[in-house]
Structure 1
Amino acid sequence: MDSKQLLAFALDKIDDMKARDVIQLDVTGSSDVTDYMIVCSGTSRRHVLSIADNLAKEARHAGEEPLGYEGQSDGEWALVDLGDVIVHVMQDQARSYYDLEKLWG
């Protein structure tokens, strides 16, 4: 998949799990590591982990092995690195503290 297809894929999969407040950021001019970042919220530790787990599982099923998956232990913030798209799934408190939208927007 190219980066735009991967972005659409990731947005679809996190929507399947009812991720909230989804923001997509085009960071092609700001990052050499990735083209897009998605920041979204989950309502609880379990919800954050379910969103990230589902995305990683569906990516593998589609032949897109995640390059990294972090945050399974605490559930405050999970990150799924799909290469051209990095997805941050956060609980509200962590999201407001780190404010990635402001940092990368």
Structure 2
Amino acid sequence: MDITKLQRVIIDGLEDVKAQDIKVFNTTHLTSLFDRVIVASGTSNRQTKALANSVREFVKEAGGHIVSTEGEDVGEWVLVDCGDCVVHIMQPALRQYYNLEEIWGDKPVKVKLSGGSAFGGARVTADEDEEDDVDEAPARKTTARKAPAKTAGAKTAAKKAAPRKTAAKSGDAPAKKAPARKTAGTAAKTAAPRKTPARKTTRSAG
């Protein structure tokens, strides 16, 4: 399925169960495993599970394929792998703590929202969908946070991990200057002059 259509179908599925604060991010420059990350909030375990189920149904009805679903046993963080698009449905406290927007979100995708906002939380139609990323979105330095032990697998870990930064080449580091050696003449000049002892005078006998 075309990525534009897939993200639209997923957003429709999330909105059908009233997901909150939906955000869409382009991740093609960060990983080859998927092209989009969609993050949404559910207010309870029951709602996060219902949101994940709604996403699966909408994608399947549109002819898409669901690779896997993880985290439904607890419901605090449910991950739905739709192939080219990964959906993270999280409760607000967990979403704030792991802050996936900071890890994956340096290229938000413009989508027209029913609430009037430019990013996430609304039904998107084919004519309204925008594929352009936000211009000049600054990349933020982040520290990779540990994924919860409840989710496992190399592919899942890659979906939740922060992109690695390449270390600077050793040739780019400025060469340290060797300390200048003092010459014998300089050492002689800097040596403290020796003091001559004062001569004792003998008083004449009165």
TM interval, shorter chain, is over 0.9
Percent identity, aligned pairs only, is: 39
Alignment TM-score, normalising by the size of structure 1: 0.95
Q: Is residue 17 from structure 1 mapped to residue 32 from structure 2 by the alignment?
A: no
Alignment TM-score, normalising by the size of structure 2: 0.50
- In the TM superposition, residue 62 of structure 1 has moved relative to its aligned partner by 2.4
Q: How far apart are the structure 1 equivalents of 2:92 and 2:56?
A: 21
CA contact (8 A) 2:65 2:83 kept: no
Which string of whole-angstrom CA distances, capped at 9 and with x for unpartnered residues, describes residues 43-78 of structure 1?
Answer: 100000000011112222322120111111000000
Unaligned runs of 5+ in 1: none
Which string of whole-angstrom CA distances, capped at 9 and with x for unpartnered residues, describes residues 9-45 of structure 1?
Answer: 1111101110001111111111111100100000100
Which has the higher relative contact order, 1 or 2, with Cα contacts under 8 A spaced 6 or more apart? 1
RMSD over equivalenced CA pairs, Å = 0.9
Structure with the largest fraction of strand: 1
Residue number in structure 1 paired with 2:61: 61
Q: Is residue 27 from structure 1 mapped to residue 31 from structure 2 by the alignment?
A: no
Residue number in structure 2 paired with 1:50: 50
Secondary structure at the aligned position of 1:58 is classed as helix
Q: Give 1 or 2 for the bigger CA radius of gyration.
A: 2
Structure with the largest fraction of helix: 1
Residue number in structure 2 paired with 1:3: 3
Q: Which moved more, 1:41-50 or 1:61-70?
A: 61-70
Unaligned runs of 5+ in 2: 106-206
CA contact (8 A) 2:6 2:59 kept: no
The residue type equivalent to 1:47 in the other structure is Q
Residue number in structure 2 paired with 1:38: 38
